[in-house]
Amino acid sequence: MSYGLKIRDKGALDFLSLGALVHRLDPGIIPFRKATHCQIHVGGGEFNVAANLADCFGLDTGIATAMVNYPIGDLVTERVKAMGVKPFYKRFEHNGVTGPNIAAVYSDQGHGVRAPVVFYNRANEAGAQLKPGDFDWNAIFAGGVRWFHSGGIFAALSETTAELIIEGMQAAKAAGAVVSFDLNFREKLWKISGGQNRAVSVIARIVKNVDVLVGNEEDLQKGLGIPGPEVAAKSKLDPSAFFGMIDRVIEKHPQIKIVATTLREVHMTNRHNWGAVAWVNGKTHVAPTCELHVLDRVGGGDGFAAGFFYGC
Amino acid sequence: MSYGLKIRDKGALDFLSLGALVHRLDPGIIPFRKATHCQIHVGGGEFNVAANLADCFGLDTGIATAMVNYPIGDLVTERVKAMGVKPFYKRFEHNGVTGPNIAAVYSDQGHGVRAPVVFYNRANEAGAQLKPGDFDWNAIFAGGVRWFHSGGIFAALSETTAELIIEGMQAAKAAGAVVSFDLNFREKLWKISGGQNRAVSVIARIVKNVDVLVGNEEDLQKGLGIPGPEVAAKSKLDPSAFFGMIDRVIEKHPQIKIVATTLREVHMTNRHNWGAVAWVNGKTHVAPTCELHVLDRVGGGDGFAAGFFYGC
Amino acid sequence: MSYGLKIRDKGALDFLSLGALVHRLDPGIIPFRKATHCQIHVGGGEFNVAANLADCFGLDTGIATAMVNYPIGDLVTERVKAMGVKPFYKRFEHNGVTGPNIAAVYSDQGHGVRAPVVFYNRANEAGAQLKPGDFDWNAIFAGGVRWFHSGGIFAALSETTAELIIEGMQAAKAAGAVVSFDLNFREKLWKISGGQNRAVSVIARIVKNVDVLVGNEEDLQKGLGIPGPEVAAKSKLDPSAFFGMIDRVIEKHPQIKIVATTLREVHMTNRHNWGAVAWVNGKTHVAPTCELHVLDRVGGGDGFAAGFFYGC
Amino acid sequence: MSYGLKIRDKGALDFLSLGALVHRLDPGIIPFRKATHCQIHVGGGEFNVAANLADCFGLDTGIATAMVNYPIGDLVTERVKAMGVKPFYKRFEHNGVTGPNIAAVYSDQGHGVRAPVVFYNRANEAGAQLKPGDFDWNAIFAGGVRWFHSGGIFAALSETTAELIIEGMQAAKAAGAVVSFDLNFREKLWKISGGQNRAVSVIARIVKNVDVLVGNEEDLQKGLGIPGPEVAAKSKLDPSAFFGMIDRVIEKHPQIKIVATTLREVHMTNRHNWGAVAWVNGKTHVAPTCELHVLDRVGGGDGFAAGFFYGC
Amino acid sequence: MSYGLKIRDKGALDFLSLGALVHRLDPGIIPFRKATHCQIHVGGGEFNVAANLADCFGLDTGIATAMVNYPIGDLVTERVKAMGVKPFYKRFEHNGVTGPNIAAVYSDQGHGVRAPVVFYNRANEAGAQLKPGDFDWNAIFAGGVRWFHSGGIFAALSETTAELIIEGMQAAKAAGAVVSFDLNFREKLWKISGGQNRAVSVIARIVKNVDVLVGNEEDLQKGLGIPGPEVAAKSKLDPSAFFGMIDRVIEKHPQIKIVATTLREVHMTNRHNWGAVAWVNGKTHVAPTCELHVLDRVGGGDGFAAGFFYGC
Amino acid sequence: MSYGLKIRDKGALDFLSLGALVHRLDPGIIPFRKATHCQIHVGGGEFNVAANLADCFGLDTGIATAMVNYPIGDLVTERVKAMGVKPFYKRFEHNGVTGPNIAAVYSDQGHGVRAPVVFYNRANEAGAQLKPGDFDWNAIFAGGVRWFHSGGIFAALSETTAELIIEGMQAAKAAGAVVSFDLNFREKLWKISGGQNRAVSVIARIVKNVDVLVGNEEDLQKGLGIPGPEVAAKSKLDPSAFFGMIDRVIEKHPQIKIVATTLREVHMTNRHNWGAVAWVNGKTHVAPTCELHVLDRVGGGDGFAAGFFYGC
């Protein structure tokens, strides 16, 4: 790992994520309106990066998150263990009726010309109640943590989660960890926690602490409030729009060393072309385009982030 | 139909229920903590009675309930149509994130010595927001409704649902319908809407409007605040405890014509003995005991209520 | 709705189909010769249009059809209810052994270079016994019906079904409904009910009553007996052959306002290019071509008809 | 093998059945009215005996039956091969629409207090068209056949099947084979082929050729026209009623050496007690009762016949 | 924990098992000869105890075992993580063709009167190659281990596994851990590694190091070479035969504090009565009998051992 | 059949393969490391050709192979019967623990950019123990066999299997059968039975007896030790490299009449372009390229061989 980043050589953890875990209900190619059964997956934008780094790349990773004492919590706990991610849980008791809950993400896989549909039941979500002070960062960072990560989904859950991210990033910095953030801008989520104006102001405060930023053109526009390019790109795989916005990002946040994102052209729900681009310490990089047969696109960006971080 | 009840000969609807619809996630014999997939059922204690009367007995039935405009709402809508129940929906818009939601009931089927487990995510449930004035009872009862039903689960959802039940029962009475109520006392639910003291006082106000009451010994104790028998019954199938409490019920609510319940002895999760008892206008009736191979016990009481009402 | 059609503004039903319901046994991508299980779907070329208009577009639709009192009839009945289509059933009793039956359609989904295979068990099909006089058209049309539809599959089932279609169309006309017919020419079916000569003569008598005709080049040739173009089209997506035959259609049946069809190029069983063309009151229209990832092509033409009618 | 029977020592086939093959659609514990998918099994009362003797007991067995050239025929053909039964097929061509068909048996598995339900689509069944002269018995029996079997289901399919059974039995006798017949009396089937009077007269002509007869008390009453016992047996497992009727059977058909049947007491769909009884050359035998956990009762009697014949 | 055992108060691990992991192929109620698919489970007699103690009882447990670098090894690794058991792996490379392998256990679930069938492919099993010196016991016991366990299945795999068990037990004793051993006598396994004479002599050397012994009457006879009772017990649930043999066990191995086992009466594959008995420091204990609805009996004894140890 | 081959007009068998049968465990698109269940298929490179010729083309085919008396052997036996292939089994007894085994092939289907993975458990495989003298070739060829086939997978299993192939081919020649061999070079297999040098020398001795050789460019290089082309082909579908090597093949083995292979370009795991080429008695043939939607590529080459032989 290099590229302008100063990554510790060793640590009890190679990577620590802060975010909320969810259970996803997935009826496959059947839309929910016609579904009679579904698979139950466990994920979370921030967790997925830690899980991929542990399960695919063999790193020692951890997740700081909320856990609820009820059977869905147990289900989630098992998946976290199975992926080999070390948990740091702030625990909540479930009242059997209204929570606090592990949030449910309802998401099918789409088919052909029908795109996947995603909606949530995040009412009374335990993760949204996480707040500064909930984790003992000193203890967590004591053995050494090489990289700290969080993202825009967790930031949007409530007023306190954004503050917790900042607290965590500052502790991480103090402990010598690289800090990354995936903008993952979700308009629906920010709408329930203050709207876009608050989003831009909160994200700006977060990004001040960040070395590595992940986000596409739209994330940069909506999350950082940076105006988009004047001329539309000819293709979704054309990196010029993305690179054209980087100067403004660095101007605002000069401590950032790396900005990266995927570029995706969706032919059909199950057939995409993917590219990836990165701005690294002033140099631009473009990955060759790859044709993908997509089984399920959910979490694809998190997979990119994991692979990208691993290569840093 | 007779037994002291004056049931209208004809009506556009034979039966109308008021209650909340839910989607149930059911991993079968696997407990949730180890589940990787589940079936999605649609139900609701009050709806189930209407659905059984339509689907099994061919009656014209309806349901007054909350409906949310999102894919889970569409899923529920299709099941209501498939069961042949006429819907009267008060509609809500989903914000994509926190609701209002169609509540989720998580419930496995248990196995052998392991009983089924039931817990909810009823946070920000649309049904709990239903309140007096939400339905145009005049229009609903205009064509004639022969029987009106609600139950203790819906009553416990919020302060407004109990008031809506009373409003609906009074409209039903005025329109000449028989009125029934299934106590279905759920301690967990009442705990979140005022506790047992409020439960007893609210249920008392509801039961004042009731001709036919469904509830077992425990329901009568906790829901009506009637003390239990001094001596424990020898067997769960022994009706004496139940009958011993009826005098107190009738003393409090002399307009009641019928009180009925099932008696169940659970040998294993999948093997029960069931009986049923009824007090009808002063006479007691005991059904022969039946050995059941139980696939899934959820909704068993609602099935009893449907069959019992059909025979009235 | 316009385009030369005079569509009633209101009606108890927006759309009424006349046809036979079937249960389809579908082993998915496994051909029947190797199948060990299958899904059971409910459909019917004429019903599918009514079901799509109700389920996808929210119209009030109905189906006039045969229903048999046995468990497969109950299965079909539930699906009709779930799709929200109002049934008008002529009822038959099943003798437990030979029928009359709800017909079975055996149809897999094919895979890659292997096309789907369709064959029937329509022996002693209840639908084929439907005949003039079986439905009380006065009662059915009393509340107003805006559009009446039937098709070539039902017409081919027996001598009486074609006569029933004509009876229904005349009643529809008299009641002010637009009348449509999907030629859906199936050589196998006509072979068992009189052969192609009878087909042409019967269909001609039906089409005399039609405002909107659905059918591709082959349907027009075989169903209407109109000679095909002298030069083969370069591509299956080239509309010139279809348009070249319209003059002859209108010459024969000058009351027709609209003729429409899909154009399909099948690359593999699961990858098609689809276009669509229409002749509307003398003008020709060509839809842009769309690449489809096809899960199951059965009923695709019925889906087109539903969407096309909805746009009229 | 002995017990009064003269069984050939050797033969190209140990056992040959004559009957119709069916494909069974089985939705498991879900009744058809609520089913969305089903398993496809291959069977037939007469075939099942040959299949069990080959697959479980390793005998060389054959089946003389109708086969139809279409995918369901191919499916059935593979199962016959997989069971190791040598086929003698009279072949029919399918017209794609109405047959002749391999019959469909619709049969769920029931559950608890709900018994399995069986109904057919035997319209235009190829098997019913089998008639004397369809098989070259000389060729079939040329290599030696030790035992010939048929049954009451095949006998009831049409006028010609019963005659074919008699022809086959006479050829078998002439070739030195033991002849058995399972009465398997199905009232629904006989109703469509002449009613019970014809049944008794036809079965009498068949049974004249039989050495080993399988049938319970009801089969003997309805199939052979022998009056039942005057006093009802105390239990379904009490063999006295069965034995009480044997004298009348032997009186009518003195050439019979063996009569056997199962005795079954059904506690629940999935829990039976089974016994078995046999009258062998004047002596009576009673098997110990066995408690069975029944997965699927269909074909249970055929399994008994196979095991019983094997022990002869 | 007490009962004559001196269990350490604390330790990095509450429990450590030594044994081989397997992947089990399970076709459910279908026997393998008719199976077309199966589930893949991960287990192992010794591992199961550690897994239950971690997953059900929340203890910190570990497993010392062989691991192979190939996809089945990865599959097994994930399950070990998911159960929360800390692995100590001696690693082997797979040659892609013949191993060394993670052994396969083929085992269906049986049904009714058909018992489950178990057979193995343990050819070139990695676990059988484990030998003294493969684990660094000093490092493993450094943090404190409260209880060490192994069993008769692992002991029977090869000459070296038994020696490894003795080495491990001696290291455990030296480190202050309680030592247990489950005889789990499998005749088939011992036959391939020296026969019963070797079994008795090897097991005797193992049991010299044991505080807690698990094994039923047959295990004691065949594994320890102790003669059975002269009079057969009236019932499989009668503990007298088991208790009658304990004196001889203690005579041979006076250091043993506890001997325990289950007593099982199998009515049908899916319905058992279970009891349990224990001799604890000279006193006998008999658990009440419990009727079980058994889904899958494999590993039932390991579940007992886990619960029993937890209660010590 | 012609093309320089002298194929007998008639024979009891059209085709006889010699090879090992395997059971394949197939988790579908899920890789084994994440699999929880799998399908069980039966196959074998040499058997597959015989199975396709029987099942798809209706020929009379046979397989000479090892069979093991245990449930997996029974499972395999049923599939051989179902495919209509006549078995000639050399039988082995299974010891319940280590074999001899029917080998297991673990093989998923891959997805998108992830290729299928194949690995084996062939430890103590019964097939590898087959040796000259195990089959009574005189008896097998007595009724006439038109074509004899074996392949490189079986040749690589052990020292004795290659010798058995030679013995079989010589017997086939003597009996007038055409002899074919599919090189199917698998480096992993040869590594465990003597390495590539032994492979080349053994295969040379086998190919001396061959009329029809199947193998691609890589097979010819590695299996026959013929150097590859100096210039890499532009495309995997370009036949020039393959044809460029044929002279050297014929020089070494002038009795060969036909050499054929598929050419495959893999775009994604599920989308291939396939061509095929053949050198027939001095003339070259190239089949048109075909775009395939591949469900499962395992055995694709065997399918080609079957179709190609059928056309000879």
Confidence of residue C2 (pLDDT cuts 50, 70, 90): low
Looking at residue D197, its pLDDT comes to: 94
**Cβ contact F252:A277 at 8 Å:** no
- A208's CB contacts (< 8 A; 6+ apart) are A253, A255
CB proximity F294 to C under 8 Å: yes
pLDDT digits (tens, 9 = 90+) for D29-49: 999 999 999 999 999 999 999
The fraction of chain B above a pLDDT of 90, given in percent, is 94
Looking at residue B174, its pLDDT comes to: 97
Mean pLDDT of F24-40: 97
User: Does F29 sit within 8 Å of A293, measured CB to CB?
Assistant: no
Instruction: Kindly write down the DSSP assignment for every residue of chain B, as one continuous string.
Output: --TT----S--SBSEEEE---EEEEE-TTS-GGG-SEEEEEEE-HHHHHHHHHHHTT---EEEEEEEEESHHHHHHHHHHHHTTEEEEEEEEE--SSS-SB-EEEEE---BTTB---EEEE-TTBGGGG--TTSS-HHHHHTT-BSEEEEEHHHHTS-HHHHHHHHHHHHHHHHTT-EEEEE----HHHHHTTTHHHHHHHHHHHHHTT-SEEE--HHHHHHHH-----SS--SSTT-THHHHHHHHHHHHH-TT--EEEEEEEEEEETTEEEEEEEEEETTEEEEPPPEEEE-S--TTHHHHHHHHHHHH-
Looking at residue F2, its pLDDT comes to: 58
User: Does D293 sit within 8 Å of E111, measured CB to CB?
Assistant: yes
Q: What span, in angstroms and rounded, lies between the C-alpha atoms of A102 and A73?
A: 7
Closest CA to F70 of F23, F105, F102: F102
Tokens at E74, concatenated: 């990865």
- Residue C4: pLDDT over 90: no
User: Does D271 sit within 8 Å of B295, measured CB to CB?
Assistant: no
What residue in F sits closest to E192 (Cα-Cα)? F97
Mean pLDDT of B139-143: 97
Looking at residue C1, its pLDDT comes to: 44
Alpha-carbon dihedral A151, A157, A163, A164, rounded to 10 degrees: -70
Q: Which of B225-234, F91-100, F143-152 has the lowest mean pLDDT?
A: B225-234
User: Does E40 sit within 8 Å of F37, measured CB to CB?
Assistant: yes
Q: What span, in angstroms and rounded, lies between the C-alpha atoms of E17 and E151?
A: 9
pLDDT digits (tens, 9 = 90+) for A157-198: 999 999 999 999 999 999 999 999 999 999 999 999 999 999
Confidence of residue B2 (pLDDT cuts 50, 70, 90): low
- E26's CB contacts (< 8 A; 6+ apart) are E38, E39, E40, E41, E107, E108, E109, E296, E298
pLDDT digits (tens, 9 = 90+) for C32-85: 999 999 999 999 999 999 999 999 999 999 999 999 999 999 999 999 999 999
3-state helix, strand, coil in chain E (%, to 5): 35, 30, 35
Looking at residue E242, its pLDDT comes to: 92
Closest CA to B1 of B216, B129, B146: B146
User: Does B293 sit within 8 Å of D271, measured CB to CB?
Assistant: yes
Mean pLDDT of C269-286: 95
**C contacts of A271 (beta carbons < 8 Å):** 293
Give chain E's residues under pLDDT 70. Answer: 1-2, 231-233
Q: What span, in angstroms and rounded, lies between the C-alpha atoms of F60 and D81?
A: 13
The fraction of chain C above a pLDDT of 90, given in percent, is 94
Looking at residue F311, its pLDDT comes to: 92
Mean pLDDT of C137-157: 98
- C302's CB contacts (< 8 A; 6+ apart) are C45, C48, C49, C52, C182
**Cβ contact E134:E3 at 8 Å:** no
Alpha-carbon dihedral E293, E296, E298, E304, rounded to 10 degrees: -30
Q: Is residue F81 classed as helix, strand or coil in its secondary structure? A: helix
**Cβ contact B165:B206 at 8 Å:** yes
Tokens at E91, concatenated: 């690693």
CB proximity D82 to F under 8 Å: yes
Q: Is the peptide bond before C100 cis (omega within 30 degrees of 0)?
A: yes
Q: What span, in angstroms and rounded, lies between the C-alpha atoms of D15 and F9?
A: 34
Token pair 């080998």 in the structure block, residue: F103
Looking at residue F1, its pLDDT comes to: 44
Give chain A's residues under pLDDT 50. Answer: 1
pLDDT digits (tens, 9 = 90+) for D89-120: 999 999 999 999 999 999 999 999 999 999 99
Contacting chains of D (3 CB pairs or more, <8 Å) are: B, C, E, F
Q: Is residue C157 classed as helix, strand or coil in its secondary structure? A: coil
Confidence of residue D233 (pLDDT cuts 50, 70, 90): low
What value does the mean pLDDT of chain C take? 95
Looking at residue A1, its pLDDT comes to: 44
The fraction of chain A above a pLDDT of 90, given in percent, is 94
Confidence of residue F233 (pLDDT cuts 50, 70, 90): low
Mean pLDDT of B77-88: 98
**Cβ contact E103:E20 at 8 Å:** yes
Dihedral sign (CA E5, E9, E14, E18): negative
Dihedral sign (CA C84, C89, C95, C99): negative
The fraction of chain C above a pLDDT of 70, given in percent, is 98
Helix axes B159-174, B195-207, angle to 10 degrees: 10
Q: Is residue E211 classed as helix, strand or coil in its secondary structure? A: coil
Count CA atoms within 13 Å of residue D228 on its CB side: 11
CB proximity C111 to F under 8 Å: yes
pLDDT digits (tens, 9 = 90+) for A109-139: 999 999 999 999 999 999 999 999 999 999 9
What residue in D sits closest to F55 (Cα-Cα)? D78
The fraction of chain D above a pLDDT of 90, given in percent, is 94
Q: What span, in angstroms and rounded, lies between the C-alpha atoms of B24 and E71?
A: 36
CB proximity B82 to C under 8 Å: yes
Q: Which of A83-97, B229-243, C104-118 has the lowest mean pLDDT?
A: B229-243
Confidence of residue D231 (pLDDT cuts 50, 70, 90): low
| Chain F: closest CA distance from residue A208 (Å) | 38
**Cβ contact A28:A108 at 8 Å:** yes
Q: What span, in angstroms and rounded, lies between the C-alpha atoms of F151 and E98?
A: 20
Contacting chains of F (3 CB pairs or more, <8 Å) are: A, C, D, E
Dihedral sign (CA A53, A56, A57, A60): positive
| Chain D: closest CA distance from residue E112 (Å) | 5
Confidence of residue F301 (pLDDT cuts 50, 70, 90): very high
Which residue among A35, A37, A72 places its CB closest to the CB of B32? Answer: A72
Looking at residue E1, its pLDDT comes to: 44
Looking at residue E233, its pLDDT comes to: 67
Instruction: Count contacts between A and F (CB, < 8 Å).
Output: 16
> Which ipTM was obtained for this model?
0.95
pLDDT digits (tens, 9 = 90+) for E7-36: 999 999 999 999 999 999 999 999 999 999
- Residue C173: pLDDT over 80: yes
Q: What span, in angstroms and rounded, lies between the C-alpha atoms of F249 and F214?
A: 12
Tokens at D5, concatenated: 């029977």
**D contacts of E113 (beta carbons < 8 Å):** 290, 292-293
Contacting chains of A (3 CB pairs or more, <8 Å) are: B, C, E, F
